[in-house]
Structure formats: structure tokens, C-alpha cells
Amino acid sequence: MSDKSAAKNDTKKRKRINVRKPDVMAKVEAEVSNHYKSSVVEKLRELGGEITLGNTKIILAQQFGFCYGVERAIDLAYASRKVFEDNPIYLIGEIIHNPEVNRQLKDMDIVSLPWEQMNEQYDALTENDVVIVPAFGAPTSFIDKIEERGASIVDTTCGDVMKVWRRVRTYAKEGYTSIIHGKADHEETLATASHALGKEKNGHYLIILTLEDTDFVCSYINGEISDETFMTRFGDKNVSPGFIPSIHLQQVGVANQTTMLKSETEEIQRRIAKTITNRDGSPENCQIFDTICGATQERQDALFEMLKNPMDMLLVVGGYNSSNTTHLVEIGQEELPTFFIRDATCIESIEKIIHFDLEQKSEITSNYNNLLDQDKPVVVGVTAGASCPNNLIENTILRVCELRGIAKTEILSQ
Ligand code: SF4
């Protein structure tokens, strides 16, 4: 390569753009607040999270909805359109897992690119284009490709996700295989897996999701399962290229997708650490690092707290592909009738709720009669995942109130 072309390539690399300019952010703040704010949610906060109107009581979790990482990602996406008024702007997949927020970005002419695999749209990027990296990050190969094409990058990856990346890169550097507790088809886990290969791309990872997966790995470490059976269970999708269990499970480091169920992650860590310690007579070949993010933990803890109240039903509002929301649903359904709804329109009528069923992985319709009789007292709990805006929470509360014959003004006048 000539000096000239090397220099040209250098200029093509690393066009990361900071769109956080004070004048831009002032406008963004006003716009975001206008799109997603809620007077009803603010009122409930002011009332300590509870309101009783006649014989209807609504309890809102103490922590719910947008987290700092999501707020930042949305702000940066909105700011991108303001800074690059006339440039084509693309987004890798979805900015966060919420259809309403993604729809708003689409309305701003921000075009979604595929996130599972790069296609010819990535090859066609030019220096005039801007690409937004979502809050969950993106695999290193995607970033390399965008940099190679010379497009500008607005990186909204959450700091908590980057903390996990630093951890798995350290594992790779020290020769430890990353065992990642996460969903193999989730954007964040795919990105984390790419970082687990390390700088030299010679690191390894194994992605596990359940306690059954964990026990299977532990059985392998205990010598009870063959390499072939192991690889048949996990396949190519869950392991790094060239993964050989007999070699790459000698030294392991556990990390997790930031939005997993905390209690499950802790149990996975405990079982793996115990198995390695039993095998080697010492824990030194197993490193543990809790990478559940603060916002996920706070929302889970707040729900556990809320569940101490007697309640008739729980509504969990959020995108069906949102990992942290899914775990709130799992916590709720252990205790009481819990409905995972996309938005208020899912509460179709006084006795008909359309909601996402975690087992069937699709929407189902349930008849729910507790709201039916307005003379019968009812207590409704409401919470929402970290990617759910307040206006959707407000609409849900108002829909319940409407079915119980309560007007919005009655809430706001409390
Ligand atoms: S859920 Fe956690 S990791 Fe994800 S964006 Fe929010 S703060 Fe960051």
C-alpha cells in the first residue's frame, strides 16, 4: 500500500461524532419530553406511587421505565438528526426494544439496517452517511465495516454494556473463556461475544441461557458428557469459532447480559464456580463478575418490594423483545395474574386483555373479570421495563381507570 493510500485509509477510520452540543441538546430535551412525558405518571410519583379512587387502587413501582442508558441513546439519536439535517442516517437494528420509540425515529427518516447479519447496505455506506450504534452496542465486525466505509458513527452504547466488554476482553487477554449468561440472539450478547474474542481475536466464549444449560456445562466439566454431545447441544451459535470444550473450559470467566434476572445469574455463577473448584481443588481457574446493570437491578428490586402489597393483577408494559421487561414479567407471574402488554390498546375491553405469553412466545388473549364489576374493589400494579416511555405507562393507567369509570381529571386533581 502506498503512503498516499495508507493516509487515505487512515482518514476513513474512526469518524466517531459527538453530537452532544449544548444548543442541540436543549432542543432535543424539549422534543423528547414532548414525545414521552406524562402528567399522570408525574402525579403518581408525587403521591408516592399509589392512588386510590373509589374502590380502585393503582400502585406504580418505585422504579420503572426509561433507564439512564436508554435516555442517553434516545437523546443521541434525536441529536443526530439535528446535527446531520441533510445526511442519510442509519441505525443498526433498533435503538432500544420499544416499538413506539423506534417508530418515532423512523418518522425522522432514520433507516434501520439489519443487525443479525450485515448485508449489501453496509457495503454501500459512504462518507456522507451517519450510522447510529444502539444502546446495546454492536459486534466489532459491524463497527469495523462502518469505519472501513468511512461513514460517521454516533455511538449510543450504554456505559454498563461497555463495562461487560472490558471484562470479557480481560478474560480473553488472560486466556480465560467467557461464559456469557444471555440470549444468543440478543443484540447485546452478540456484541459481547465479539468482544470476548479479545483484541487478537483468539479468545473464546460460550453463551448459556438457563440453569439447565449451566448444569449441562457442569456435567461436562465433571466428565459425564462427551465433547460431541456438548457441541450438539450448544451448536455454532453459542460458541466461538474453534471452540473445543476439553481445552476451552479449563479456565473460565463468567459474565452476563446486563438485563438478566439477577437471582438466576448469581445461581449460574455459584454452580460454575463450585464445579471448577471441585475439579481443580481451587477456585483460581474460575473468575466471576456480576455485570447486571444498576437500572435492571433497581427495577427488579422495586417489583419485589411492590409485590409485598396485596394486588389483584400486575400489568407490565414494554416491548415483547425487551429482555429486562421479560424478567419483570417472570417475577410477577410467580405471584399473581400478570399481563405483559405492549401498550394500553392491549386492554381491549373490560374483560379482554391481549398480552405476550412467554412460553408460547406470542400474543394471546385472556379473559380477566376482576375489572368488570365496578362495585368490587380492585388493586392493579403497574410497572414497565427500562425501554418503556412514560406516555405508554400513562395510557395504560388511564385505560384501567376508564374501565373503572374514573376520569383523568380525577387523578390529576388528587
Ligand atoms: S438496561 Fe442497563 S445496560 Fe441497558 S441501557 Fe439501561 S442502563 Fe444500560
Q: Is the CB of 68 under 6 A from ligand 1?
A: yes
pLDDT digits (tens, 9 = 90+) for 370-386: 766 777 899 999 999 99
CB atoms within 10 A of CB 46: 10
Hey, whose CA ends up nearest to atom 8 of ligand 1?
69
Instruction: Flag whether pLDDT at 14 surpasses 60.
Output: no
Q: Mind telling me the catalytic residues?
A: 188
Residue-wise pLDDT for 193-212, tens only, equals 999 999 999 999 999 999 99
Ligand 1 proximity of 328 Cβ (cutoff 6 Å): no
For atom 5 of ligand 1, which residue has the closest CA? 69
CATH fold label, 68-157: Rossmann fold (3.40.50)
Q: Which of 86-90, 327-331, 370-374, 401-405 has the lowest mean pLDDT?
A: 370-374
Summarize the confidence of residues 59-64 as an average pLDDT.
Answer: 97
More confidently predicted of 372 and 164: 164
What is the structure's pLDDT at 372?
66
* Whole-number pLDDT of residue 13: 60
Instruction: Assign a CATH topology to domain 160-292.
Output: Cobalt-precorrin-4 Transmethylase; domain 1 (3.40.1010)
Instruction: Give the pLDDT of residue 371.
Output: 67
- Ligand 1, atom 2, residue with closest C-alpha: 293
160-292 and 37-66+295-412 share a CATH fold: yes
Residues 22-39 have pLDDT tens digits of 999 999 999 999 999 999
Which of the listed CATH numbers 3.90.79.10, 3.30.420.40, 3.40.1010.20, 1.20.1090.10 matches domain 37-66+295-412?
3.40.1010.20
Confidence of residue 331 (pLDDT cuts 50, 70, 90): very high
Q: Residue 20: how many CB atoms within 10 A of its CB?
A: 14
295 CA to centre of ligand 1 in angstroms: 6
The predicted pLDDT at position 2 comes to 40
293 lines ligand 1 (CB under 6 A): yes
pLDDT score, position 375? 79
3-state secondary structure 7-37: HHHHHHCCCECCCCCHHHHHHHHHHHHHHHC
Structural domain boundaries in the chain: 37-66+295-412, 68-157, 160-292
**Averaged pLDDT score across all residues of the chain:** 93
Q: Which residue's CA is the nearest one to ligand 1's atom 4?
A: 69
Distance of CA 146 to the CA centre of its chain: 23
Distance 339 CA to ligand 1 centre (A): 23
Q: Is 326 in the pocket of ligand 1 (CB under 6 A)?
A: no
Best CA proximity match to 320, nearest among 346, 358, 366, 367: 358
Instruction: Please determine, for residue 8, whether its predicted confidence score (pLDDT) is greater than 70.
Output: no
Pocket test for ligand 1, best of 95, 160, 165, 166 (most atoms within 8 A of CB): 160
